[in-house]
Amino acid sequence: MKPEDISSKRANLEYVTDMLGQLKTVAGAPHGSVLSYLIDMARLEASDLIGAAGELDHNGDAAV
């Protein structure tokens, strides 16, 4: 994967992470609700993928 592709993917994932945080706020889901849980899980997954993109950026062997 080219460095600019990694950078673009990382930027997209950061955007998704931010939007999920805002979506949780707008949804007004109470803490502990299923909706809150699912949004948190999606946000964690996006954060994990950002970490994987960072690893790929540094050593070239992570799959994103």
Domain annotation covers residue 64: no
Burial 21-41 (b: 16+ CB within 10 A, else e): eeebeeeebeeeeeeeeebee
Which residues are CB-neighbours of 21 under 8 A, at least 6 positions away?
A: 43
Domain annotation covers residue 34: yes
pLDDT by position in tens, the chain (length 64): 676 777 899 999 999 999 999 999 999 988 889 999 999 999 999 999 999 877 766 665 544 4
The count of residues in the chain is: 64
Q: What's this model's pTM, rounded to 2 decimal places? A: 0.73
Domain annotation covers residue 14: yes
Query: What's the domain count of the chain?
Result: 1
Domain annotation covers residue 55: yes
Full residue range of the structural domain in which residue 32 is found? 3-59
Separation CA 49–CA 64 (nearest Å):
7
